[in-house]
């Protein structure tokens, strides 16, 4: 069901991109939007893992440098029937983790030094299982595609703003798009894309929780870990880029109100309740 929902949301996001391109430049605008999105997706497919690891100054570690972590990742990767991913440590006090890589053959799992301090071995297994579930089901690629299409829509909205400002629209739907449609797109397009992108992210988080619990062998490992991570993330700040916050197992950005409303993560309470229901 989650896979069907994700496919539907990706199609919806693509249709928004097509509409945005048409609103800005008619048929020519749709073509430009497709080419732009394709280029962004290809770049993200090949280089997103290197960029995000470098962004957080993640250091690749060997088995001798982090034996317990390495042992857990290797054992769970074997259980998940995927290749052993590269293992990274991030020197951050906030306990958190993420996986990246375009496919299971080029995957990496990164954890913060903070998570190594507060979680038990069983809870760490739950977290690693969650991240390996993302890897196994290629969620990193799915979220990257969603992010790049959403970025393309935002870029088109900015272009439409400058085009209208300098009188670039000619009023012909086949040649230059509609000025009224362009104005609507400038306002509605980025918001709609953000909402769909968040829905995709939340759907994949639920699926990774379920898959990770099965890989780790006990749903309570992850549910107990999420309780600790949720409390710690609210107390310990992390200098995280909002564009990458969806990658972490819990949202590294603290805040309430409108921030929570537009969170890329499902409510922790709901995630924990679902995991605990698996134990019954």
Would the pLDDT of 50 be above 50? yes
Strand 108-112 to strand 97-100: parallel, antiparallel, or no bridges (unpaired)?
antiparallel
Q: What is the pLDDT of residue 209?
A: 96
Give 23's contacts (C-beta < 8 A, 6+ positions apart): 29, 160, 177, 178, 181, 182, 184, 185, 189
Predicted local confidence at residue 164, as pLDDT: 62
State the Rg of the chain over Cα: 20
pLDDT at 22 over 80: no
* Whether 131 is catalytic: yes
Confidence of residue 191 (pLDDT cuts 50, 70, 90): confident
Question: Could you read off the pLDDT of 91-106 as tens digits, one per residue?
Answer: 999 999 999 988 899 9
Percentage with pLDDT > 70 across the chain: 75
Range of the domain at 255: 2-278
What the block records as the tokens of 217 is: 């062998």
Quick one: which H or E segment has residue 86?
strand 86-90
Q: How many separate domains does the chain show?
A: 1
Tallying the residues shown for the chain, one arrives at 280
pLDDT tier for residue 81 given thresholds of 50, 70 and 90:
very high
Residue 110 pLDDT > 70: yes
CA angle 44/108/231 to nearest 5° reads 100
Angle at 172 between CA 170 and CA 176, to 5 degrees: 60
Does the pLDDT value for residue 177 go beyond 90?
no
Q: Among residues 63, 65, 123, 131, which one is catalytic?
A: 131
pLDDT at 48 over 90: no
Mean pLDDT of the chain: 82
3-state secondary structure (DSSP) of residue 179: helix
Poorest-pLDDT segment among 4-8, 10-14, 99-103, 221-225: 4-8
Burial class (CB in 10 A: 0-12, 13-18, 19+), 243: exposed
Rounded mean pLDDT, 119-130: 98
- What's the whole-number mean pLDDT along residues 58-71? 96
| pLDDT tens profile 251-270 | 898 655 445 555 678 999 99
Residue 153 or 176, more confident: 153
**Which of 19-28, 78-87, 199-208 has maximum average pLDDT?**
78-87
């Amino acid at each position: 069901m989650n896979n069907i929902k994700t496919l539907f949301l990706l199609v919806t996001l693509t249709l928004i991109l097509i509409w945005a391109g048409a609103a800005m430049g008619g048929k020519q605008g749709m073509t430009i939007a497709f080419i732009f999105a394709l280029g962004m997706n290809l770049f993200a497919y090949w280089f997103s893992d290197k960029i995000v690891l470098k962004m957080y100054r993640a250091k690749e570690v060997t088995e001798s440098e982090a034996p317990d972590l390495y042992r857990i990742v290797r054992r769970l990767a074997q259980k998940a029937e995927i290749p052993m991913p590269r293992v990274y440590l991030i020197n951050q006090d906030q306990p958190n983790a993420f996986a990246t890589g375009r496919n299971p053959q080029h995957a990496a799992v990164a954890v913060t030094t903070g998570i190594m301090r507060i979680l038990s071995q069983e809870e760490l297994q739950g977290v690693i299982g969650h991240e390996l579930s993302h890897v196994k089901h290629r969620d990193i690629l799915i979220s990257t595609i969603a992010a790049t299409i959403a970025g393309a829509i935002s870029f088109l909205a900015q272009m439409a703003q400058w085009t209208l400002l300098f009188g670039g629209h000619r009023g012909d739907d086949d040649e230059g798009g509609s000025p009224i449609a362009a104005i609507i797109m400038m306002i509605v397009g980025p918001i709609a894309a953000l909402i769909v992108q968040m829905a995709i992210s939340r759907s994949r988080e639920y699926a990774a929780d379920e898959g990770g619990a099965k890989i780790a062998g006990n749903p309570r490992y992850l549910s107990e870990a999420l309780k600790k991570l949720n409390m710690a993330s609210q107390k310990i700040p992390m200098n995280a880029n909002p564009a990458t916050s969806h990658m972490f197992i819990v949202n590294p950005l603290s805040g309430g109100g409108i921030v929570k409303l537009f969170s890329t993560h499902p409510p922790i309470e709901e995630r924990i309740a679902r995991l605990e229901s698996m134990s019954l």
